[in-house]
Structure 1
Amino acid sequence: MSTNIRTLLVDDEPLAIRGLKIRLEPFDNIEVIGTCSNGREAVKAIKEEKPDLVFLDIQMPGFDGFSVLKSLVGEAELPLIIFVTAFDQYALDAFKAHALDYLLKPVEEQRLKEAIVRVEEAMQQRVAIEQNARLVELIENIDNAPKEALTAILEGSADSSTEVFEPQLRIKDRGHITIVDVKDIDFIDAAGDYMCIHVGEKTHILRETMKNMIARLDPKIFQRVHRSTIVNLDMVLEVRPHSNGECFLTLSCGEELKVSRSYKDVVGRFL
């Protein structure tokens, strides 16, 4: 009789969680002990429940799958990790040597079977330590912040000097993901529940609210200048006051943005 594989599912999309649970039902040795809808929940559950296996979505708002892994560095026991991701094959190749397996969304039944076989073999051969060493190598090669700062955020004790902000945005578009370096963003403006990310001559569309977007960015660099506009302060070349109390910012890309009176204190950063 095979030993149950205690399994945790992590994904911010409820339908993805439901679909994966249904596909795992035929596997008698897979025991789903819980689900998590965000990275912070996942770290807490992994530390408390100590699952054997985690199906981990890479791209989640704010605290993504990579941040989950970074926060687990130093733990005595790490679970086996299977990434469930929308990254295309080219991106997957870059991580091929580091995780036990990958499942590309939407998850195919045959690929899931192959992944479970790999999990069973890994557990039988007791190669989890070797697998975790490769995982730590992956984590250390990610452009990340110190573990202490991530831990402080998870415990709710971080102040502005230790808070960690995302160095990149991963933008899904028709099955492909574009990685945008945050430092290269000129400005961001809102269109309903979508953000238009302006980088040079390109504009990327990201489904996100203004509230969540501003929380993901370092306020020392990014500030709202209008209820629907965020600007990269490093991209500002000129500040031009207007008689009605508003002013205009000229960016290095040539764009001119209006600073509304409600956000005029931002101008003080340039004076």
Structure 2
Amino acid sequence: MDTLRALIADDEEHLRDYLEGQLKTAWPELKVVAKAANGLEALRLIDEEAPDVVFLDIRMPGMTGLDVAARLVAGAKPPHIVFVTAFDQYAVDAFEHSAVDYLLKPASLERLEKTVGKLKAALRASEPAAAAGITAATLQALLQQLGGAVPAVAAPAPSLQWIRASQGEQTRLIAIDEVIYFQSNDKYTSVFLADGESLIRTPISKLREQLDEQQFWQIHRSVIVAARHVAGTRHDFRGRLMVQLKGRDEQLVVSRNYVDLFRQM
């Protein structure tokens, strides 16, 4: 079996380091590949590192651990999720009666070993996180038990058809069918077309929400490619999976979290 990978998300650095140290004792084969200080950073690092197990603090600034988990379980291949909480025992009862595993801060070695045992059993069974009980319905019920508000799910917006982009000193109206791929930069998103490159201010995360996922594939946190322009894939000398485009020289890196898109190619 390949080395198992983990991510720890907690807004307190000393607690991140403490949990990492406890894991080295309870599960020495597990490699902590990243640590995040908030929910947004956790999502970015999960995208980049594709960990097998994620330890999520419940209360983080901006995006909570429950918010992050809800985003993860909506994906095609969610990691195994363990919540880390400082809630009192009354609130912890909500976790006890759900299928979600949790650790009470600071996690004792004895309690952590029980969690490790559950995770190892699920991993041996190749059981996806959703099948282990980490589902959208579970999270909603958990929020209700903890007294949190559960926001309504908005209806999906229609797919994007046109883009208004800058090209030099001109503004250009681009039909979505003209796009070969999008690539985000520091302040802009580049739109690559057959006849050149244009710039838009829309973040790639917002574009993803507006694009038809059957027609546009996200292959990296900073790249979305039009499926009809994909010629194939290859591995480079570093072992990274690369997307080859029809009629173009550049090749695009596929991050770990999106490799499964190309398993059948």
Q: With the length of structure 2 as denominator, give the TM-score of the two structures.
A: 0.51
Count of residues in correspondence between the two structures: 154
**Counterpart-to-counterpart distance in 2, 1:38 and 1:130:** 23
Q: How far apart are the structure 2 equivalents of 1:85 and 1:97?
A: 15
Note if contact 1:97-1:134 (Cα within 8 Å) is conserved in structure 2: no
User: Per-residue CA shift, 1:69-115, capped at 9, x if unaligned?
Assistant: 22234200111111111012221222335454211011101111111
* Alpha-carbon shift at residue 62 of structure 1 (Å): 2.0
Name the structure 2 match of 1:121.
121
| Deviation, structure 1 residue 139 | 3.0
Distance 1:95 1:131, change over 3 A: farther
Contact 1:72–1:78 at 8 Å: present in 2 too? yes
Q: 1:124 to 1:156 in 2, by over 3 A?
A: closer
SS in 2 for 1:20: helix
Match of 1:5 in 2: 4
Work out the CA distance in 1 between the residues paired with 2:54 and 2:3.
14
Correspondence 1:21-60 to 2 at 5 A: 21-26=20-25, 27-60=27-60
* Identical-residue share of aligned pairs (%): 37
Change over 3 Å in CA distance of 1:35–1:23 after alignment to 2: same
Tell me which residue corresponds to 2:13. 14
Aligned runs of 1:48-127 on 2, under 5 Å?
Answer: 48-127=48-127
Say whether the 8 Å CA contact 2:56–2:65 is kept in structure 1. Answer: yes
Maintained 8 Å contact 2:95/2:101: no
Alignment of 1:1-271 (within 5 A): 3-26=2-25, 27-131=27-131, 133-141=133-141, 142=143, 143-146=150-153, 157=206
Unmatched 5+ stretches in structure 1: 159-271
8 Å CA contact 1:99, 1:135 repeated in 2: no
SS of residue paired to 2:84: strand
Residue 66 (structure 1) shift:
1.2
RCO comparison, higher one (Cα < 8 Å, 6+):
2
1:32 deviates by 0.5
- 64-73 vs 16-25, which deviates more? 64-73
Q: Is the 8 A contact 1:98 1:137 kept in 2?
A: no
Judge conservation of contact 1:98–1:134 (CA < 8 Å) in 2. Answer: no
Q: State how far apart, in whole Å, the 2-side matches of 1:136 and 1:5 are.
A: 25
2:95 partner SS: coil
RMSD (CA atoms): 2.8
Which stretch has the larger CA shift, 115-124 or 60-69?
60-69
Q: Is the 8 A contact 2:73 2:135 kept in 1?
A: no
TM-score normalised over the length of structure 1? 0.50
Aligned residue identity for 1:112: L
